Amino acid sequence: MPYISKNPATMEVLKEFPELIETELQQKLNLSASVFERWKMVSVAERTVLMKKLAEYLRQNKKELGTLATVEMGKPITAAMAEVEKCALTCDFYAENAERFLTSESVSTDATESYVAFEPLGTILAVMPWNFPYWQVFRFAAPTIMAGNVGLLKHASNVPQCALAIERAFVEAGFPNGVFQTLLINSSTVASVIKSSVVKAVTLTGSENAGRSVASIAGQQIKKTVLELGGSDPFIVLADADIQLAAKTAKIARLQNAGQSCIAAKRFILVESVAQEFIQAMTAEFKQTIVGDPMDEKTEVGPMANEQGLQEIVRQVEESVKLGAKIETGGHQIDRPGYFYEPTILSNVNSIMPVYQEEVFGPVAAVIIVKDDQEAIKAVNDTPFGLGASLWTKDLVKAKQLATLIESGSVFINGLVKSDPRLPFGGLKNSGYGRELSSFGIREFINIKTVWIKK
């Protein structure tokens, strides 16, 4: 199947790209293996210079790069450009900190000298989704390549122009040819790439199904994986929360990227004493949201990225409403060309409904009302996922205690869940394993080598 670039706001097919044929794929794998032998010998200081240039390239080209994301997957142009800037920031972060993260650590033992060295593994395959077509890739690539590895990208099939633009960015910044390559291949070809002796490890960001498949193939090959999978993050509002601020934040937490974010707040768990006030405030926020042409700088919510995602949201809402959910606002597809869905709030949600049980990857908030803090924590953990959580209360002592009870990779108190290059990012349970970003991310794909010396 070819890669098809289709504008989800207009449904116009923009471009098609053929899948790599077998010999082309093999050439790229060979190049990856040979360039690694040279790249691993390049000093971290020299890698730093190139990574800084890459950051500069991204900043200089954010309009063009941002536009590609907008036309391929529907993200509003302001958000797309902000995403490119965040990638640049992350390149700078690793350029400035990789030396420190990778310095050998001396350890006192019975040896004359013993230390731990951090060495690259080789070619790392990244299988990535379309929802943050640059950010997902750069948060893998910047640390991994600074550590001396080389990268291969199998990007989602609806964002081939972004995928090729990323490869071009590395070349334009001056990285040796082959340090980062895009493979236009179908997901069915991924298994053979994982099995190739060139590939040493795999990272996948995407759905549970894709994660299970990739991890089991890599497991057979005894190759390490990092999995960043789905989420159903709770947004917990306790009795003493700042309701107006929480409601304003809830709008962004749920509606950013048309709700298609793994760390979007998906389940709004409200203590009953403040539930109605919060629902009213959040409904007002959702009603004011500007939905429309993603190329318009005023637009806050664009279309969903594809027809399949839109139909899934339609199903989840319809089935939940049949089971008794109440529509506070929205609840329908928007009658215009493109895959637009109304910002939606469903209340009266209970545990038998799809919007409670499943990941809701669109602009639909599910409201769950609980009696008190204890019931809130029970509802928070009543999910197969464990990515992030946002907790709202003025009592910070209590907040820190509750944070220890939440089964997730992060807890944000009085703020929305976000990724930040300085902090580790990842999940528990069916949200995956391993960490990206910070000092933890750069150590996922390295050989932690013990060296023991006796005089």
**Interaction with ligand NAP in 152-171: which residues (CB under 6 A)?**
154-157
Cα separation, 82 vs 32, in Å, equals 31
Q: Which residues contact 242 (CB under 8 A, 6 or more apart)?
A: 392, 394, 414
- Of the candidates 73, 88, 210, 367, which one interacts with ligand NAP according to CB under 6 A? 210
Contacts 24+ apart (CB under 8 A), 79-86: 79/256, 79/257, 83/132, 83/134, 83/135, 84/58, 84/59, 84/134, 85/58, 85/59, 86/135
- Of the candidates 72, 228, 293, 373, which one interacts with ligand NAP according to CB under 6 A? 228
Check if 91 is active-site: no
In the complex with ligand NAP, the residue whose CB is nearer, 160 or 292, is 160
State yes or no: residue 127 binds ligand NAP (CB under 6 A). yes
Which is nearest to 205 in space by CA: 146, 290, 127? 127
State yes or no: residue 199 binds ligand NAP (CB under 6 A). no
- Of the candidates 93, 130, 340, 341, which one interacts with ligand NAP according to CB under 6 A? 130
State yes or no: residue 134 binds ligand NAP (CB under 6 A). no
Stretch that binds ligand NAP, among 14-22, 106-114, 203-211, 325-333 (CB under 6 A): 203-211
- Of the candidates 167, 300, 342, 359, which one interacts with ligand NAP according to CB under 6 A? 359
Angle at 407 (CA atoms; ends 206, 366), nearest 5 degrees? 70
Confirm if 184 and 160 have CB atoms less than 8 A apart: yes
Q: Give the active site residue among 83, 262, 285, 358.
A: 262
State yes or no: residue 145 binds ligand NAP (CB under 6 A). no
Which is nearest to 125 in space by CA: 226, 35, 1, 47? 226
In the shown chain, the binding pattern of residues 305 to 344 toward ligand NAP, with x for contact by CB under 6 A and - for none, equals ----------------------------------------
Say which residue the tokens 């609840």 belong to.
331
State yes or no: residue 187 binds ligand NAP (CB under 6 A). yes
- Of the candidates 148, 231, 354, 362, which one interacts with ligand NAP according to CB under 6 A? 231
Q: Which residues contact 239 (CB under 8 A, 6 or more apart)?
A: 271, 273, 274, 393
Q: Give the active site residue among 228, 328, 342, 436.
A: 228
Say which residue the tokens 């390149």 belong to.
91
State yes or no: residue 205 binds ligand NAP (CB under 6 A). yes
In the complex with ligand NAP, the residue whose CB is nearer, 156 or 301, is 156
The tokens for 443 are: 């150590």
Q: Which residue's Cβ lies closest to ligand NAP?
A: 206
State yes or no: residue 266 binds ligand NAP (CB under 6 A). no
- Of the candidates 7, 32, 131, 408, which one interacts with ligand NAP according to CB under 6 A? 131
**Interaction with ligand NAP in 408-447: which residues (CB under 6 A)?**
427, 431-432
Check if 228 is active-site: yes
In the complex with ligand NAP, the residue whose CB is nearer, 19 or 240, is 19
What's the distance, CA 208 to chain centroid?
A: 13
Cα separation, 325 vs 356, in Å, equals 10
The tokens for 53 are: 């240039």
C-alpha distances out from residue 223 to 181, 201, 269, 285, Å: 20, 5, 39, 47
**Interaction with ligand NAP in 374-403: which residues (CB under 6 A)?**
387
State yes or no: residue 230 binds ligand NAP (CB under 6 A). yes
State yes or no: residue 347 binds ligand NAP (CB under 6 A). no
**Shortest spacing between CB 232 and ligand NAP, in angstroms:** 9
Which is nearest to 434 in space by CA: 218, 259, 208, 229? 229
What is the signed CA dihedral for 145, 84, 426, 389, rounded to 10 degrees?
A: 160
Query: Would you name the residues annotated as active-site residues?
Result: 228, 262
Please give the residue ranges that form the binding site for ligand NAP (CB under 6 A): 127-131, 136, 154-157, 186-187, 190, 205-207, 210, 213-214, 228-231, 262, 359, 361, 387, 427, 431-432
